[in-house]
Homo-oligomer: A and B are copies of this chain.
Amino acid sequence: MANIGKQTIKFKKNISILETASIVGPKEGDGPLKNYFDIVLEDIMAGENTWEKAESIIVRKSLELATKKAKLAMTDIDYIIAGDLLNQNTGSTFGIRDLHRPFIGIFSACSAMGLSMGLGATFLESNFAKNVLASSSSHFCAAEKQFRFPLELGSQRPPTSTTTVTGCGVALLSNDNSDLPKIKAITTGKIVDMGITDPFNMGAAMAPAALDTIITHFNDLNIEPDYYDLIITGDLGHIGSEIILTLSKKEGYLLKNYKDCGILIYDKDTQDTHSGGSGCACAGTTFAGYLYKKMIEKEIKKLLFVPTGALLSPLSVLQKESIPGIAHAVAIEI
């Protein structure tokens, strides 16, 4: 069942991704993936009066939508596993507060979707649960306010910076013998910190962690990069993606089949998002919206999904700490 002493858990059971749900903001709804999301909000406030409450309502509606699409009731859900970027997991906590299900709160920055799906899969493999909702969310305005500058300042951002995706991605995991995409293995990441201190260049901070997890995954399972149709990181963006491709060559790996959710979700030429998309919802909604549907259509049959996280806080930056990176890999096949 497990690979003791290695970082990778290979699953024996049929751990299906029964359904997904994705809700995004207006900017993501203008991007190249717009037709893949379940709901595109016209109003980034989602009808609420604060950005944080907007994120929470997006979380709740996404969790409810995934459950409804699977023709299940919320009481059929054994656990909700959710994480976001806000202080004290505000987005997730207040989103799931009224759903009355056992709650596992995680924090793994923008790699949250990898950790929530990974933990959910372990619960299903072990028969600890029948249905698990795995979720990650972020909100552009709430994240800017918390991590960068007040939006009202209209601060310029350097070209290395990324744009936090507004939205929530949910995967409903279930033991199921259908022909749906299955989680085959997970590789839980270690922190890798190469000394990057610029919080406007998180792609550079996360790329070594992503590569560490990906290479560990190959080694643990004794497979080559071309085993997968697609290896996709969460939010390295244009700059971080160049770095991981350079680093991987140095390590002797040719990642021909590599992409990044942060590059796919926005149009580089027309959407002015600098280095691309980021935030917990970047990997979350790209998976729940685009990638899952491409797997159902069998355009992608073997996917290595690697959400990436920069474990900084505004305070750690002020205290001149470098940025610890982490990445969690989820191997999915149909």
> Are B2's CB and A79's CB within 8 A?
no
Q: Which of A63-104 contact B (CB under 8 A)?
A: 78-79, 83, 85-90, 93-94, 96-97, 100-104
Q: Which of A1-16 contact B (CB under 8 A)?
A: 1-2, 4-5, 7, 9
> Are B119's CB and A88's CB within 8 A?
no
Task: Known A103-B191, A107-B88, A311-B93; judge A9-B128 contact (CB<8 A).
Answer: yes
> Are B122's CB and A126's CB within 8 A?
yes
CA distance A50 to B317 in the complex (A): 13
Apart from A90-B316, A105-B107, A125-B126, what 19 extra A-B contacts exist at CB < 8 Å? A1-B126, A2-B129, A4-B127, A4-B130, A5-B78, A53-B319, A86-B313, A86-B315, A88-B109, A88-B311, A94-B316, A97-B191, A102-B188, A103-B326, A104-B119, A105-B108, A105-B115, A119-B119, A122-B126
On A, residues with C-beta under 8 Å from B are 1-2, 4-5, 7, 9, 50, 52-53, 78-79, 83, 85-90, 93-94, 96-97, 100-109, 115, 119, 122-123, 125-130, 188-191, 193, 311-316, 319, 321, 324, 326
28 contacts between A and B (CB under 8 A): A2-B127, A2-B129, A4-B127, A5-B130, A7-B102, A52-B316, A85-B88, A88-B109, A90-B313, A90-B315, A90-B316, A93-B311, A93-B324, A94-B316, A96-B191, A97-B193, A100-B191, A102-B189, A102-B190, A103-B188, A104-B106, A104-B188, A105-B106, A106-B106, A106-B107, A122-B126, A122-B128, A125-B126
